[in-house]
């Protein structure tokens, strides 16, 4: 819900108490819900494939900070939690587990793109939100700092890192042309 509120603010109106906010929130919930859930599930599925234990844990303070930043800055710091892995991970496995989330978001962005290009009205808007949100989630998560996916991918395989970042940046640039 928090990530949907944050994206609803950024992609819609900052007046969360107006009726105009409701459609932005609902559309963000559908597209962020899909993007965020599948991103985190991708990490978990790859970790389980390696025989590791994996669990999502929310960071409540980050949920609140995300909404506040979206409201006051128009920017979403999308780090409301993460999948934690237990077991002998290693650099290669950790890199592969980490890249699964951003690649999932890029695939989702591509799946939303036909709605954005070839439809009108509500379906166009869903395509717009889905493409934008998933492109942003992929790029944001590839920042090579802290506990973000990008840091682990960069340590594992710099070529994979740069290819995924280049695709995500390309999608962000495409948004400017398509919107």
Q: Could you give phi then psi for residue 99, rounded to 5 degrees?
A: -75, -20
Q: Which segments of the chain does DSSP mark as H helices, in order?
A: 2-11, 21-49, 60-73, 90-118, 121-141, 149-156, 158-178
Neighbours of 43 (CB within 10 A): 24
Left if phi > 0, otherwise alpha if psi is -120 to 50, otherwise beta: which for 90?
left
Q: Which of 31, 40, 105, 106 is catalytic?
A: 40
Catalytic: 20?
no
Burial class (CB in 10 A: 0-12, 13-18, 19+), 50: middle
Residues 6+ apart with CB under 8 A from 6: 66, 67, 69, 70, 76, 78
Handedness of CA 59, 63, 65, 69 (dihedral sign): positive
C-beta separation of 105 from 134 below 8 A:
yes
Catalytic residue IDs? 40
């Amino acid at each position: 819900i928090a990530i949907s509120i944050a994206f609803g603010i950024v992609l819609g109106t900052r007046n969360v108490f107006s009726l105009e906010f409701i459609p932005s929130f609902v559309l963000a919930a559908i597209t962020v819900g899909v993007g965020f859930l599948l991103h985190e599930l991708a990490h978990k599925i790859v970790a389980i494939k390696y025989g590791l234990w994996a669990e999502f844990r929310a960071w409540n303070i980050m949920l609140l900070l995300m909404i506040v930043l979206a409201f006051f800055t128009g920017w979403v710091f999308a780090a409301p939690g993460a999948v934690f892995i237990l077991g002998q991970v290693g650099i290669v496995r950790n890199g592969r587990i980490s890249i699964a989330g951003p690649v999932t978001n890029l695939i989702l962005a591509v799946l939303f793109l036909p709605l954005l290009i070839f439809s009108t009205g509500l379906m166009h808007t869903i395509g717009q939100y889905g493409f934008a949100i998933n492109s942003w989630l992929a790029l944001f998560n590839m920042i090579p700092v802290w506990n973000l996916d990008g840091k682990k991918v960069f340590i594992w395989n710099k070529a994979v890192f740069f290819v995924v970042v280049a695709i995500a940046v390309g999608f962000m640039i495409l948004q400017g042309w398509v919107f």
